[in-house]
Amino acid sequence: MTSRETMRIFFLLLFAFSLTSLYSQGGNNSSAYGGIQATPKYAWEVGLHGGHFFSSGDIAFTPSYGFGFHVRRALDYVFSLRLDGMYGLAQGDSRSSGWRIDPTPQDPNNGDDQLFYHKTTYASVAVHGVMVLNNLRWDKPTRKVNLYVFAGAGPTYIKTALESQEKGGFSYADVVDVPGGPLSGRQTSQFVAGLEAGAGISVRISSGFNLGLEHKGATVFGKRTDLMDGIEYRWRDIINYTNLRLNFNLRRGGKLAEPLYWVNPLDVVLNDISELKARPVLDLTDTDKDGVIDIIDQDKNSPPGAPVDTRGVPLDSDDDGIADYLDKEPYSPPGTSVDGEGVAQNPQYQNQDYVTRDELDRLLENAVEGGGGPGAAVVDWFLPMVHFNIDSYKIRESDYGNLASIANVLKSNPKIRIVVQGFTDKTASDDYNNILSYNRAQAAIDHLVNLNGIDRNRLVLQYGGESNNLVPSSGSSLMNRRVEFRVATKDDVEMPAPQGGTTPKVEGNIQGY
């Protein structure tokens, strides 16, 4: 095989490796299951390795060394591709094997045969197919140990130098230079095709690092097949490399999962099931009929007709310790001493004019319109959120009722505006998440305008990307994929659409911009 043919094989292997990696990455972003990803977004692995390198053939080896690097990408939970490069030096001593070389093309029986050393330089770049043997188990989120086998091929540089053990004896830079030797007068290249195979074990130290121990055997094709130790006899020589590997996962600050060969194949499914099981059962029971359902009511036995806050607790407007439904002066000045009926007892307040109901109504109206003031706290109403599937800004049918409730609030209070703010979880880049959160807020606004008849000018679009998460999680979270609603103040303004980044190519109610 010529050097030109070897280089063609090398580039074809690299092209196949690139295509397969792109395919696996593209498949990882698919939404074939209604926005739910079949696999998490996972990291590449890079590593360094070094260890004992030797050849086994006709000449007894002496210990030597090798080192190299690799880049690995998972295809699924069992199979992966690895680009592996290495350099090694194999050495041997013919004394214990009895082989000698005649330094001249004369009769080998003339007594000039000499014992020799060989030093074989080996450098290769190969593409390996790797198969993990123990990842089809479902009892733990990640594997602690990986057992694997691999095989591959690629271009190899090989040169075998020979040197006599006798003082002043022969010294050849390559076996091709030996007069009368197997390669004498024959055209051959130092670049040949190589085949590699082996097995290994790796131990997970952390989510970003693991330690491996591996052994591989390699051989080459062509005229040098049985000359890696300088002697051609019967069958091919085998290169051996036992090495320690330091493997690092490129997780982008924890935003990506570990490579799939470490991950439980049911990880995504089990996480979603755990999330569903952790959700409270929706119970609309309202025991005390105060308008706050029991699931969020902190006082389930408030008296009939007593005004309550959004937690179901009877209101105490002047914070004097007496609920409004029992307080004869529900708006006594702050810090004023009151009797058991809530009446102010401080002499300086005996003749003070209190806020009338009409004045209170005006304060409340001013607060509702965003003017602030003493009554502003009452507009911190509870407005429901809506949530989204992964990589999606499509409004789910289960949230149509929540949006209808928000529309009813707007219709009942024609002077207020609502801030519509979108958020994401932390499973992508900041630019990507800003665009996705903007699209979610826009989808909610479109729904309120087109389906519920709300004036667009009463809705203020804002977005926060992956900031302000409700659940402290760096991964997928339904609670963090949301749009929130609140009553706008006079200072709230609409945010412009984010610029830059990658437009999410996902399912939604609106067109990406």
DSSP H/E element including 153:
strand 145-164
Report the distance separating Cα 493 and Cα 188, nearest Å: 76
Q: Is residue 317 part of a domain?
A: no
pLDDT one digit per residue (tens) for the chain, 513 residues:
455 555 555 555 555 555 444 444 444 444 444 555 567 788 999 999 999 999 988 888 889 999 999 999 999 889 999 999 999 999 998 887 778 887 766 555 555 688 888 899 999 999 999 999 988 776 677 789 999 999 999 999 999 998 888 888 888 888 888 887 778 767 788 899 999 999 999 999 998 999 999 999 999 998 888 888 888 887 788 999 999 999 999 988 888 888 988 888 776 666 666 677 777 677 778 787 877 887 777 887 888 888 888 887 888 777 777 777 777 777 777 777 777 776 777 655 555 555 666 666 676 666 655 544 444 444 567 889 999 999 899 999 999 999 999 999 999 899 899 999 999 998 888 889 999 999 999 999 999 999 999 999 999 999 998 888 888 877 788 888 999 999 999 889 999 999 865 555 555 655 433
Q: Is residue 281 part of a domain?
A: no
Can you give the pLDDT at residue 366? Answer: 66
Q: Do 266 and 369 share a structural domain?
A: no
Can you give the pLDDT at residue 392? Answer: 92
Q: Is residue 77 part of a domain?
A: yes
Q: Do 257 and 376 share a structural domain?
A: no
Structure-token pair, residue 33: 């299951």
Report the distance separating Cα 411 and Cα 356, nearest Å: 27
Domain that holds residue 7: 3-103+111-274
* DSSP track, 162-190: EEESSTT--EESSGGGSTTSTTTT----S
Q: Is residue 373 part of a domain?
A: yes
CB 52 within 8 A of CB 231: no
Q: Is residue 310 part of a domain?
A: no
Q: Do 190 and 51 share a structural domain?
A: yes
**Among 410, 421, 499, which residue's Cα sits nearest to residue 456?**
410
Q: Is residue 64 part of a domain?
A: yes
Can you give the pLDDT at residue 80? Answer: 94
Q: Do 18 and 146 share a structural domain?
A: yes
Q: Is residue 391 part of a domain?
A: yes
Of 257, 274, 291, the position where a domain reaches its end is 274
Of 274, 294, 310, the position where a domain reaches its end is 274
Using DSSP, state whether 343 is helix, strand or coil: coil
Can you give the pLDDT at residue 284? Answer: 76
* DSSP track, 406-426: HHHHHHH-TT--EEEEE---S
Q: Is residue 35 part of a domain?
A: yes
The sign one gets for the Cα dihedral 419, 424, 426, 431 is negative
Q: How many domains in the chain?
A: 2
> Which CATH number characterizes residue 32's domain?
2.40.160.20
Using DSSP, state whether 366 is helix, strand or coil: helix
> Which CATH number characterizes residue 368's domain?
3.30.1330.60
**Contacts for 283 with CB less than 8 Å, ≥ 6 apart:** 293, 294, 295
Q: What is the pTM of this model?
A: 0.49
Report the distance separating Cα 353 and Cα 261, nearest Å: 76
Q: Do 68 and 170 share a structural domain?
A: yes
Of 259, 274, 289, the position where a domain reaches its end is 274
**Contacts for 108 with CB less than 8 Å, ≥ 6 apart:** 102
Q: Do 64 and 173 share a structural domain?
A: yes
Q: How far is CA 313 from the centre of its chain?
A: 43
Q: Do 482 and 369 share a structural domain?
A: yes
**In Å, how far are 56, 58, 84, 241, 345 from 217, measured between CA atoms?**
10, 16, 14, 7, 96
